[in-house]
Structures are given as structure tokens and as C-alpha cells.
Amino acid sequence: MTIDKLSINLATVREQWDLREAVEACVRHGIKAVDPWRDQVTKLGLAESVRVIKGADVHVSGYCRGGMFTSPGAIDDNRRAIDEAAALGAECLVLVCGGLAPSSRDLGEARKRIADGLAAVLPHARANHVPLAIEPLHPMYAGDRSCVNTLAQALDLAEALGEGTGVAIDTYHVWWDSALEAQIARAGRLSKIFAYHICDWLVPTRDLLLDRGMMGDGVIDFPRIRRWIEAAGYRGFTEVEIFSKFDWWMRPGDEVLRTCIERYKATLR
């Protein structure tokens, strides 16, 4: 079974390695694609990060992340993120759209600011050929991270915005949704699946942000969701993204990558 379509989101090994070490390790394990985070790129410097990635000849399945449109300075910051994504040759810029504005309880207003922010940065993204992948986040992040909480909502935005906008589907955020199969099919019809991330939901979950699971350790039915994604025509990378302060961030990076590969293969069944 091939791993040609496996990508590693570098947050998965962020506590073990910097960007250079992580990319070298991925190459060592035969992994063909990565998704770096902005803080990792900043730490190494953009020019050097580009050299490392081009030198290793790995694909960049996405760049994490833009968005946060309810925070001050978001538009300029997203334009810079688009420039970085373009320099890295990323297939898309992943957007976590932002939660409620500071000291606001107005979800409607936050959602309007998100739509307006997306529209404001889209011309720059199009000019630089960087697709914008709106990632719906689990509803437990509506307060502080994203008021876009279902695939239906993300697709409504992408459909309204048009060319150059799509969605990043992360199993961790959407697995619970009774509309998931229908919305994945809709995303396929619209040709708007720009990224597919995998990560398991643990029972119990001990931390709202940093207790995500390796595929197989939780309750998500990966083969089923994969069939829906394939039926929708998606042929891109499957990216493993796991924030795990109690478990995987504590283990040697090589063990983490070996496990990602084994478990990824199991999700193809």
C-alpha cells in the first residue's frame, strides 16, 4: 500500500522538531508532502524554509494558517500569509476564520466579519494563485477560534465567494455531523475540497485543544469518511494533523511518523 498521498502536518511533531528537522525526517520515512505552520516558518525564516522544502522535493499540501478575521490587523496579516504560502508553493492556505470578537457575544456579527474578511483578501490570493481553504472548526471552538462550525457553513461561504475558495475538511472537526455525507458530496460537486485532514476523537477528551488522537485510538470511522471523500472526487493528499500534549508530542518523532504511516494505511481499508 502506497503512501504517495500521505502528508504530515508539521504541528504533529512540533514539540520534537523544527521545520528543517521535521522535513528531513519525513523524507527519511518516505513521506512526500508536508504542511508547515507559520510559526515554524518564521522561526527558520521564510527564505531558508523555502530552500529546505524545495531541496527536499516535498509537496506542500497546505500552509497553516490564515484567518482569524475577528482580530485586529487580520487583513494585512492574511495578505502576508498568502505571500508566504505562494513562496512555499503551498497547494492552499488553510483558514481558521476566528471566534467571537473580543468582549463580544454576537455570533452574527462575527460571521459577517469573517465573510467580509474573506472577500477582502481574496483578490490578493487569486493574484498569487493561492487557493483559500476555509476549515470548519468543531463547535466547541465557536467562542475563541472559529464561528464557522460546520461543513455546510464553510461551503456556503466558499460558494458565495466563488473561484479560489474552498474547504479543508478535518475529520476531528466534522465527524459528528449528521449532514456530513451530504455536505461532502456537495463539496465534491462544487469542486471545493482543497484539503483533507485526519485526526481521531478520543473518549474521553481531556483538553479541548490539545488532546487529539492518532487514527484508530478514538471513535471516528475513517474508512467510511474516506469513501465519501473519494466518492466526491477528491484525489489530493490526506494530511495527518494531531495536537497531542499528553501523548504524541511526548514521544520520539520517528515513532510518531512510523505510527502515522501505519495508521494512515489502516484508514484506506
Tell me which residues touch its own copies (CB under 8 A). 99-100, 105-107, 111, 138-140, 142-144, 147, 149-150, 153, 175-178, 201, 203-205, 208, 218-221, 224
Query: C-alpha grid cell for residue 18?
Result: 523544527
- Number of continuous H segments (helices) and E segments (strands) in the chain: 10, 9
Nearer to its own copies, 88 or 215 (CB): 215
Q: Closest distance between its own copies and the C-beta of residue 72, in Å?
A: 18
Pair 17, 256: CB distance under 8 Å: no
Q: Of 41 and 180, which has the nearer Cβ to its own copies?
A: 180
Between 50 and 185, CB nearer to its own copies: 185
Beta bridge partners of 195: 168
Question: What's the min distance (Å) between Cβ of 186 and its own copies?
Answer: 16
Do 68 and 74 touch, CB atoms closer than 8 A?
Answer: yes
Shortest distance in whole angstroms from residue 134 CB to its own copies? 14
For residue 129, what is its C-alpha cell? 494563485
Q: Which is nearer to its own copies, 94 or 137 (CB)?
A: 137
CB of residue 110 to its own copies, shortest distance in Å: 10
Q: Which class for 169: exposed (0-12), middle (13-18), buried (19 or more C-beta within 10 A)?
A: buried
Residues 18 and 52 sit within 8 Å (Cβ to Cβ): no
Kindly state the smallest distance separating residue 153's Cβ from its own copies, in Å. Answer: 5
Residue (162 or 204) nearer to its own copies, CB: 204
- Is residue 176 a contact partner of residue 182, using CB atoms and an 8 Å limit? no
Measured from the CB of residue 150, what is the shortest distance to its own copies in angstroms? 7
Nearest CA-CA partner of 135 in 122, 148, 117, 145: 148
Q: Residue 133 pairs with which residues in a beta bridge?
A: 94, 166
Q: CB-wise, 100 or 232, nearer to its own copies?
A: 100
| Residue whose CB is less far from its own copies, 75 or 209 | 209
CB of 8 to its own copies, least distance (A): 24
> Which amino acid appears at position 107 of this protein?
L
Around Cβ 268, how many Cβ atoms within 10 Å?
15
Question: How many CB atoms lie under 10 A from the CB of residue 239?
Answer: 26
Nearer to its own copies, 19 or 95 (CB): 95
**Alpha carbon distance, N-terminus to C-terminus of the chain:** 10
CB of 144 to its own copies, least distance (A): 5
Q: Which of 219, 102, 232, 95 is nearest to 166 (CA)?
A: 95
